[in-house]
Amino acid sequence: MRSGKDLELVTLTKRYGTTVAVDRINYVFENGSYVCLLGPSGCGKSTTLRMIAGHESVSDGSILLDGFDISHLPPAKRGTAMMFQNYALFPHLNVRDNVAFSLRMKGIDKPERHKAANEMLDLVHMTAFADRLPAQLSGGQQQRVALARALVTKPRVLLLDEPLSALDPFLRIKVRAELKRIQRELGITFLHVTHGQDEALALADEIVVMNNAVIEQAGPARSVWNGPRTEFVARFMGGHNVISLDGAKVALRADEVTLGEAGLAATVISVEYQGAHVAMTSMTDAGEEVLALVPEEQFFQTPKNPGDAVRLAWDEGRVHRLQT
């Protein structure tokens, strides 16, 4: 729903000499949504984020927030705030002073800025650590402080540059739930850059998949995952097979592939037990790999081993044609 308060990119371009890092992208980020910019490294997603933040100059095009062109404003005047990948906490300041830093720069006096900082620390459950130095905190705690510091300026849009990449996998899942909670509580736009599709699916209302400096596909998480438009998106989002049928590339969800009496002939090349599912990879006669996620109970009724011949079947209606 366009509200006139959205963040909008208009033919946004970034060139470094002759290389184009971001190529004339257009997009409207709906106000109050959680959006993930997803793509492989070097696809331009971080550059896009840094241009929105104001840490990278815009070569061409503009960035609109609330209908105003913010592309030439300094970072702090844009209504955006950035959370850095390595958190970038000031090592010589304690947690409270880190959070209150932007208020101090504005010349707000001590009691008031400490009060605001304490409120933010409360939001991220870090009140007990207010007097510690960043070096005395764990990665997850530093991350919360960085979040509080970004939020204390009351930004309209929060920009997160791979915020979970420095955390271990268990903590990552915990922290992403936390991010989602905070976004819901504040109701502001979160723009989150990541290269992990599971992270994007778990968090995003909307996913923007980028590749080679352009937006490959964008939309609600479910529609992107269920309806990949191109081979790149199908492969990058995972859980899909890309095979040739009748001379055209099609995408087929791995969990839609069943083992049957009739169907496409293939040879099993690997079997991996994954708990709820068994991931069975097989090679068709045409030389294409097909992954089938078979519910484990079903698989072990007629277990297969590498080298076995199988027949792969699926519901015709679930095959999804890809654009070339």
Give contact residues for another protein (rule: CB under 8 A): 53-55, 74-77, 81-82, 84-86, 88-92, 101-102, 104-106, 149-150, 153
What letter represents residue 31's amino acid? N
- Name the minimum Å distance from CB 260 to another protein: 54
The residue among 139 and 295 lying less far from another protein, judged by its C-beta, is: 139
Cα angle at 209 between 199 and 224, to 5 degrees?
80
CB 224 within 8 A of CB 207: yes
- Name the minimum Å distance from CB 120 to another protein: 13
Pick from 99, 101, 95, 83: which is nearest to 183 by CA? 83
CB 80 within 8 A of CB 153: no
CA 136 to chain centre: 29
- Name the minimum Å distance from CB 115 to another protein: 18
The residue among 161 and 199 lying less far from another protein, judged by its C-beta, is: 161
The residue among 148 and 234 lying less far from another protein, judged by its C-beta, is: 148
Q: What is the rounded CA–CA span in Å between residue 90 and residue 97?
A: 9
Pick from 240, 265, 267: which is nearest to 251 by CA? 240
Cα angle at 150 between 157 and 224, to 5 degrees?
40
Q: What is the rounded CA–CA span in Å between residue 151 and residue 80?
A: 9
CB 211 within 8 A of CB 199: no
Pick from 227, 231, 225, 192: which is nearest to 211 by CA? 231
The residue among 20 and 76 lying less far from another protein, judged by its C-beta, is: 76
The residue among 21 and 200 lying less far from another protein, judged by its C-beta, is: 21
Please report, for residues 7, 58, 69, 189, the alpha-carbon distance to residue 72 in angstroms, rounded to integers and kept in the order given. Answer: 15, 8, 8, 21
The residue among 106 and 110 lying less far from another protein, judged by its C-beta, is: 106
Q: Are strands 189-194 and 34-38 parallel, antiparallel or unpaired?
A: parallel
The residue among 113 and 320 lying less far from another protein, judged by its C-beta, is: 113
> Nearest 5°: phi and psi at 170?
-65, -45
